[in-house]
Structure 1
Amino acid sequence: MRKKVAFYTLGCKLNFSETSTIARNFHDEGFNRVDFNEVADIYVINTCSVTENADKRFKSIVKQAQKLNPEAFVAAVGCYAQLKPQELADVDGVDLVLGATEKFKITSYLNDLSKNDLGEIHSCEIGDADFYVGSYSFGDRTRAFLKVQDGCDYKCTYCTIPLARGISRSDTLENVLKNAEEISKKNIKEIVLTGVNIGDYGKGEFGNKKHEHTFYQLVKELDKVDGIERLRISSIEPNLLKNETIEFVSQSNTFVPHFHIPLQSGSNQILRQMRRRYMKELYVDRVAKIKEVMPHACIGVDVIVGFPGETDELFLETYNFLNELDISYLHVFTYSERDNTLAAGMEGVVPKNIRTKRSKMLRGLSAKKRRAFYESQLKTKRKVLFESENKEGYIQGFTGNYVKVKAPWNPELVNTLHEVELTKIDEDGLVRLEFIKELAG
C-alpha cells in the first residue's frame, strides 16, 4: 500500500510553490497525496513567520491532523520552523521540524514513520542557506506560482525573512524558462512570478552578488515562452521596478497590467526608521509611470500600521498619501513585534487598540479604492480567466488587470479565457456578467 501524505501551507505564494515541489518529491518516493482534511500517514505543515499568532495557528492545525489520525507522523517545515524550531518541536504531536536548508530533503528524514516522544529538530545556521531550489505550484488548474528568487539582502528593521530564508539568490534563467515550459504543457493559463524580493533577480548562489541576468531580462525571455496566456508579476519593491520593465509590460501580449508594490508607510520619517530603500517621492514616480503607459493598470499596495514611532500625525500622513494616490487596493498589515528585529526594541510603541483602529481605517480606504477602480473599468472589454470553484451558483475569475468578476455557474467555462464587457458591480462588490459573449482563447 502506498503511504498517504497531506500538506497544509501557511503564508505567501512562495510557500505554496515550495509545498508543491516538496509534494512532488513525495510522489517520486511512492507516496499518494491527499487533502489535509483526509486521513493520511504523514501531515506536512509549511509554516510562515509573518502570520499573526503563528504559534496558535500552528497548534490548531496539528490538532486537526491528530483528530484525523492520532498515529500520523507530523512534520513542520518553512520559515517559522527555521526561526522557532524548539517552539514547534514542543507542540504535542509534532515529530519532525526542518529548517531552511532541510525542508526539500524531508523524505530522507522519514524512516519508520513511528511517532516520536519529542519533536526531532534538523535546523541550520541561516548562513548555510546559500543554495537555490527551484519550485512551482499548480494546485489549481488556472494558475501556477513560479519561484524565481529566494532570500533577501535588505535589512528592514521589522522583518524576519532574511533570518528565515537567508541571502538573496536566484534560479538560473535557463531553469526558470524550463519550468515555465513545463507549466505551459499542463494546460495552465497563467503564471505568477514569486520570490522574496523578485526585483533582485539575478544574484547567484553562495552569496555571489554579481547579477548574471536582470529582472528585466527575465521578463523579456519569459514573454517568449509558448503556451502561456498570462504572466503576472507578484510583489516587487518600488526601487527595483524600473521604467524599462514597466514599458515592456505595457507592450507585452502576455504580461498583464497588474503590479503589487510594497509601500509600508507614506511617511518618510517612518520609512527611514524601517530602513526601506526609497522615499515616498519615488513611490509617487512609480505609480505615475505605470498610469502614464497603462491607465487601466491595477496597482496594489502593502502598508504597515502601528510601527513604533507612528504618531497620529504620521499615520494621517500615510492615510492622506494613499487617499490621493492613483492606486487600486491595499493589503494592510498591523505591525507586530518580532524577536531578533531592531524594531522590537524601538521606542514609541503604539498601543494595540490604536493599531487595530488604524488598520480598520485603511481597510475601509482599500474598499473605497477598489470600488473606484472597478467603476473606472465599467463599459470596457477585458479578457477573464475563469476559475474552477462553484461559489453559490456562480463561477468567478479575474481580468488581466485584476478585476474580480462572476457569472452564472457553467462548468464549461472552467480554465477558459473569454472576452467580456464589464457592465455592472453586484452587491458583493464583484462585477457580474449576465452571459459570456465571445470565446477568446
Structure 2
Amino acid sequence: MSERKKVAFYTLGCKLNFSETSTIARNLQDEGFDRVDFEEVADMYVINTCSVTENADKQFKQVVRKAMKLNDKAFVAAVGCYAQLKPEELAAVDGVDLVLGATEKFKLADYVNDLSKNDFGEVHSCEIAEADFYVGSYSTGDRTRAFLKVQDGCDYKCTYCTIPLARGISRSDALENVLKNAKEISEQNIKEIVLTGVNIGDYGKGEFGNKKHEHTFLDLVQALDQVEGIERVRISSIEPNLLKNETIDFVSKSNTFVPHFHIPLQSGSNDILKLMKRRYLREVYIDRVTQIKEVMPHACIGVDVIVGFPGETDEHFLETYHFLNELPISYLHVFTYSERDNTEAAEMGGIVPANVRAKRSKMLRGLSVKKRRAFYESQLGTERTVLFELENKEGYIHGFTENYVKVKAPWNPELANTLRKIQLTQIDEDGSVRVQFVEVLA
C-alpha cells in the first residue's frame, strides 16, 4: 500500500480480548497501517467479538452500524470468539467484509488486500481442533496497567459455556516469552500487569495441547515477581480448584502481587454446580476464601455468579444468596444465564422464566453493592498504596489501591501514573473513597 491506511478497533468482551486486539493492532501497524480511535473515520474497522452472553451478539450489529455511519466505504473485519462460533451469521451482517476465526485472526494482514468492500462477507474459519498453537499478547490500553495473556483455551466441559468451542484446548505461553512480554511492558513505564487467559490456573500445558506441565502457575507467579520495573501484578480470574495454598501464601508475602483475587463461583448450590459440571463444590470455595482471609485479612475477593441456570429453583437461588451473604467477599459480577447453541445446558429442562432470572439478578446486584460498601468501610482509616490513572474526570483523578478500593482525589496531572501512599478517609456519594496523602512512592 503506497499511502498509510487508517485502522480502528472495537473490542467486545473480556480482558483477554483486549490483550489480543492490541497484538493484532501492533501487527497491522508493522504492515503500514496507522491506528486511530474507533470514533474516527478509518479505512478499516476491526471488531473483536465475544460470545459469552446474548448481549454481546446484539452489540456486534450495533458496532458495525456505527462503523458504517463513520465511513460507509470502510472495510469491516470481524474476529474473535463469535467469529469462530458463528462465522456465517456474522458474514451475513450488512457491511461486514471479512470474518476470521480463532487461528486466522492473528494473520489479519494476510487476508486484507486493497480494502475494497465485498458483496458478501468472506469467511476464513478453521475447525476448532486446529487451534492448537499459542500466540502471546498484551495490551497497553490505558498506559497505567497492561493485560498480559499467559494462557488460552480450556479443557473444562462446563455445560453452559461455549469458550472451548470458540478457543480450543488449554495451552500456555512459554515462561521465557511471558517474561519477555512483561519486560517489554515495564520498558513502557507501565506500573501494573493484570494476568489474563481463559483458565489461567491451568497454566503450564504445552503450546500444542501437550498435557505435560513444563511449569506450574506457581512457577509463573514466582518468576513474574522478579521482573524489574513492574510495581504490581494482579491475578485476574482463577478457578477455585486451581488456586492452591502455595500460591495464596506466596502472594501474601510477595513484593509485587497484590491482595486481590477474582474467583468464579457460578452457584452456591452443590446441586446446580453438579448440573453445571463445575470441578468443585461449595465447600472448596469456602476453604479458598477462608485461606485467603487468614493470611491477607485486607484482601479483596471478587466473585462471578450465574443466575437462572436451568433447574435453579427458588430454594437453590436462596442457597446461593445466603452463601454469598455470609462469605467475606468484596463484590460480585452477576451474569444472567442465557442459552448458547451447542451447549448441554441449552438442552436441559427446568427453564427459569426470563422475569425470574431478571429478579434474581437484581437481588444479587443489590447484594454486590452492599458487599462492596462493607468492604470499603472496613478499609477506612488504613494506609494503602494507590496507582493513579491518567484521566481527569470532572475535576478528579481516580485510581485503585492494591486491594482494589477505588479512590478519588482532586485532579493533579502530577499524580497520573504514579504510586502514592494514602490513607482512606471517607466514602463519597459516587461510591469511591476520598484519600489523604501520606507520601510519594514512585
Report the TM-score range of the alignment, normalised by the length of the smaller protein: over 0.9
Task: Give, in angstroms, the shift of residue 393 of structure 1.
Answer: 1.0
AA paired with 2:47? I
Partner SS, residue 327 of structure 1: coil
AA paired with 1:167? I
Give the match for residue 285 of structure 1.
287
Partner SS, residue 424 of structure 1: strand
The answer to whether structure 1 residue 115 and structure 2 residue 117 are counterparts is yes
Relative to the length of structure 2, the TM-score reads 0.99
Task: Give, in angstroms, the shift of residue 234 of structure 1.
Answer: 0.5
The answer to whether structure 1 residue 436 and structure 2 residue 424 are counterparts is no
Give the match for residue 225 of structure 2.
223
Separation (CA, whole Å) in 2 of partners of 1:96 and 1:217: 40
Task: Give, in angstroms, the shift of residue 428 of structure 1.
Answer: 1.1
Give the match for residue 374 of structure 1.
376
Separation (CA, whole Å) in 2 of partners of 1:136 and 1:257: 22
Among 54, 61, 84, the alignment partner of 2:63 is 61
Task: Give, in angstroms, the shift of residue 388 of structure 1.
Answer: 0.9
- Higher deviation after alignment, 160-169 or 384-393: 384-393
Give the match for residue 251 of structure 2.
249
Separation (CA, whole Å) in 2 of partners of 1:205 and 1:226: 26
Give the match for residue 35 of structure 1.
37
AA paired with 2:365? R
Task: Give, in angstroms, the shift of residue 252 of structure 1.
Answer: 0.3
The answer to whether structure 1 residue 258 and structure 2 residue 260 are counterparts is yes
Separation (CA, whole Å) in 1 of partners of 2:267 and 2:55: 23
Separation (CA, whole Å) in 2 of partners of 1:389 and 1:269: 46
Task: Give, in angstroms, the shift of residue 56 of structure 1.
Answer: 2.0
Partner SS, residue 65 of structure 2: helix
AA paired with 1:49? S
Separation (CA, whole Å) in 1 of partners of 2:57 and 2:333: 22
Q: Is contact 1:189-1:228 (8 Å) kept?
A: yes
Give the match for residue 296 of structure 1.
298
Give 1:373-392 correspondences, 5 Å limit.
Answer: 373-392=375-394
Relative to the length of structure 1, the TM-score reads 0.99
AA paired with 2:218? Y
Separation (CA, whole Å) in 1 of partners of 2:430 and 2:147: 27
Partner SS, residue 32 of structure 1: strand
Separation (CA, whole Å) in 2 of partners of 1:206 and 1:408: 50
The answer to whether structure 1 residue 159 and structure 2 residue 164 are counterparts is no
Task: Give, in angstroms, the shift of residue 213 of structure 1.
Answer: 0.3
Separation (CA, whole Å) in 1 of partners of 2:68 and 2:319: 48
Q: Is contact 1:82-1:164 (8 Å) kept?
A: yes
Among 323, 327, 330, the alignment partner of 1:328 is 330
Separation (CA, whole Å) in 1 of partners of 2:373 and 2:110: 50
AA paired with 2:437? I
Task: Give, in angstroms, the shift of residue 90 of structure 1.
Answer: 0.3
Give the match for residue 70 of structure 1.
72
Unaligned regions of 5+ residues in structure 2, if any? none
Task: Give, in angstroms, the shift of residue 207 of structure 1.
Answer: 2.1
RMSD: 0.7
Give the match for residue 139 of structure 2.
137
Give the match for residue 319 of structure 2.
317
Give the match for residue 19 of structure 1.
21
Separation (CA, whole Å) in 1 of partners of 2:39 and 2:217: 39
Separation (CA, whole Å) in 2 of partners of 1:310 and 1:129: 34
Q: Is contact 1:11-1:51 (8 Å) kept?
A: no
Among 329, 343, 357, the alignment partner of 1:341 is 343
Give the match for residue 351 of structure 1.
353
Partner SS, residue 389 of structure 1: coil
Unaligned regions of 5+ residues in structure 1, if any? none
AA paired with 2:425? T
Separation (CA, whole Å) in 2 of partners of 1:37 and 1:387: 22
Separation (CA, whole Å) in 2 of partners of 1:438 and 1:391: 23
Task: Give, in angstroms, the shift of residue 53 of structure 1.
Answer: 2.5
Among 206, 209, 212, the alignment partner of 2:208 is 206
Matched pairs, number: 440
AA paired with 2:103? T
Separation (CA, whole Å) in 2 of partners of 1:141 and 1:436: 23
Task: Give, in angstroms, the shift of residue 223 of structure 1.
Answer: 0.3
Task: Give, in angstroms, the shift of residue 206 of structure 1.
Answer: 2.1
AA paired with 1:436? F
Partner SS, residue 285 of structure 1: helix
Task: Give, in angstroms, the shift of residue 159 of structure 1.
Answer: 0.1
Q: Is contact 1:424-1:432 (8 Å) kept?
A: yes
